[in-house]
Structure 1
Amino acid sequence: MSDWDSPVWLDVQVRRRWMETGDTVALELASVQGQPLSTFEAGACVDVLFPGGAVRAYSLANAPHARDHYLLGVRLEPQGQGGSRTMHALRVGDRLRVSRPRNSFPLHGGALHHVLLAGGIGITPMLSMAAHLWRTAASFELHHGFRSPEQAPFLAHVREAPYARHVSHWCSAPGAQGRMAFSRILARVPALSHVYLCGPAAFMEAGAATAAGLGWPAERLHQESFDAAHRAT
């Protein structure tokens, strides 16, 4: 059985690489063999296999219907275990192994409206979700919180996307509009909406606490964290 036919690992190479912010690299991965990549659902991630056997998970940021590449956004974690440093060191043409996509953060088909709340690098799975929801004419809104425009990954991508009018930007820099107003957002969304949270731990805790305080049903609140201690729920 070839590596490509393996039920677990796919051989890919870096097709494009660019810096989204000073500490976030974007990597476009394509099949070494030139074949279409495995299909995935919005919200999915892939595991990256590093030399020595370490494995790290990264969300897929591209639209699910685009099978010619996988797009990852990786924030450098100086105090991490080395995975982000290895990803930042990759250059065009470098090869690596990734798993077939898996999804513990899926969209829920029965929702009448989807509310996507992203903090910083937590925008990556939301890009895939927004692209899918737009393509399927579903009702949704995307909120992206960041410290400054210079620190906001994929900000230009979102502003130029066909769904840009569905997006609200929240900047906490002095003189900007301020931090994401969870209570205002969640208090006005339609009944039977589903809410998706992704970002750093403090962002997730604030969003979840606000939802709980408003009586938001737990089954309609979905979370994925980018902190090492809390990958997905």
Structure 2
Amino acid sequence: MIPVVVKNVIEEAQNIVRLVLGSRDGTDLPTFEAGAHIDVHLPSGLIRQYSLCRLQVEPQYYEVAVLKDPQSRGGSKEVHRLTIGDELAISAPRNHFGLVDSPRHCMLIAGGIGVTPLLPMAQQLQQQGRSFEFHYCAKTPEKAAFSGTLKTASFADKMFFHFSQLADSGRMDMVNVLSRHAFDGELYVCGPADFINEVLSQARMQGWSEERLHREFFAAPEPLEQESDNAAFQVKVHSTGELINVSEDQTMFEALDQHGVFVAVSCESGVCGTCQTGVVSGTPDHRDVFLTEAERQQGNWVMPCCSRAKSKILELDL
């Protein structure tokens, strides 16, 4: 855990604030690469993950930008109540959404607050002299965080804005945009779950291969109707051989926790990857959005906070 202080609070757009977090003693914070996020431990005890939205200019500061979500479980509303001088604790940066070391053209596509991990990606790509373009989709400029900054950034010539509620702008033509680099590009997309799924679906239709599709969800999509039909199963703890029953209305995490088996959990919806656990045997029923399709097919990992089992017993590396 790293103690930090809120050094500044800036309103970036409607219902979006940017926090500047600084180390309490002025020492340097751990370095990170574009795409990284941190766990923020809020005063209430809630833990939330937020992308670091700018590369460090001064090593003792981090910046995050947070949308006040009307569907929030409390985290974003609490962030919007923070003031300068408030003390928090954060984790060291983690990165599951980093840039691939590739000579291919990079296509960054942001939907709304999904701009936050992509902005430092654009900064890093510009610094490295790599080929890229950045598409930013939002309703209006007033609701688009960093839109003014991005229009004057060093990579402004690579920016494309798509404001759906402006007549002279309109929605992004996904087919046209995605078809241009279907066979020589790396795609990075972040935003609302439905937006990400639509971009990925269109990309696959245009011929993008799965290994060149990179995404980060901030929230899980609405569960499919059939996912409400849960069946009971058992979890086997590999280190002890203990079998734990998981009922139809329980998550694996809840069942394990009741039996004193610790699994670190944060988002509880399969988004952040905190609870990722190895699978020794059995077949997971994946319900997260963290693992890639290839990782799901391999069946080596599962998210106990939300996923279940297709087999009667799922043995976990615990």
- What is the TM-score with the length of structure 1 in the denominator? 0.91
Mapped partners of 1:55, 1:84: distance in 2: 11
Alignment of 1:23-42 (within 5 A): 23-42=15-34
Instruction: Tell me whether 14-23 or 125-134 shows the greater mean CA deviation.
Output: 14-23
- Return the letter of the residue paired with 1:157: T
Matched, 1:47 2:39: yes
Larger Rg: 2
Q: What does the per-residue CA deviation read over 1:95-122, in whole Å, with 9 as the maximum and x for residues that have no partner? A: 1011000001110012421100000000
Provide structure 2 residue ranges, at least 5 long, that are not aligned to the other structure: 221-268, 272-289, 292-318
CA contact under 8 A between 2:37 and 2:52: conserved in structure 1?
yes
Residue number among 49, 71, 75 corresponding to 2:67 in the alignment:
75
Runs of 4+ in 1 over 3 A off after TM superposition: none
Bigger relative contact order, structure 1 or 2 (CA pairs below 8 A, ≥6 apart): 1
Mapped partners of 1:175, 1:110: distance in 2: 37
Residue number among 158, 164, 172 corresponding to 2:164 in the alignment:
172
Alpha carbon RMSD of aligned pairs, Å?
1.6
Aligned to 2:155: 163
Aligned to 2:192: 200
Q: What does the per-residue CA deviation read over 1:20-75, in whole Å, with 9 as the maximum and x for residues that have no partner? A: 11211111111111011101111000001124543110000111565231110100
Mapped partners of 1:226, 1:142: distance in 2: 19
Aligned to 2:174: 182
CA contact under 8 A between 1:115 and 1:142: conserved in structure 2?
yes
Mapped partners of 2:215, 2:25: distance in 1: 35
Question: SS state of the match for residue 138, structure 1?
Answer: coil
Alignment of 1:80-159 (within 5 A): 80-159=72-151
Among all aligned residue pairs of Structure 1 and Structure 2, give the percentage whose two residues are the same amino acid. Answer: 38
- Return the letter of the residue paired with 2:70: P
CA contact under 8 A between 1:111 and 1:192: conserved in structure 2?
no
Aligned to 1:21: 13
Aligned to 1:4: none
CA contact under 8 A between 1:11 and 1:32: conserved in structure 2?
yes
Provide structure 1 residue ranges, at least 5 long, that are not aligned to the other structure: 1-8
Per-residue deviation, 1:157: 1.4
Matched, 1:216 2:179: no
Mapped partners of 2:57, 2:83: distance in 1: 25
Mapped partners of 1:112, 1:150: distance in 2: 33
- Return the letter of the residue paired with 1:161: A
Mapped partners of 2:112, 2:70: distance in 1: 17
- Return the letter of the residue paired with 1:144: Y
- What is the TM-score with the length of structure 2 in the denominator? 0.68
- Return the letter of the residue paired with 2:197: E
What is the total number of aligned residue pairs between the two structures? 225
CA contact under 8 A between 1:42 and 1:64: conserved in structure 2?
no
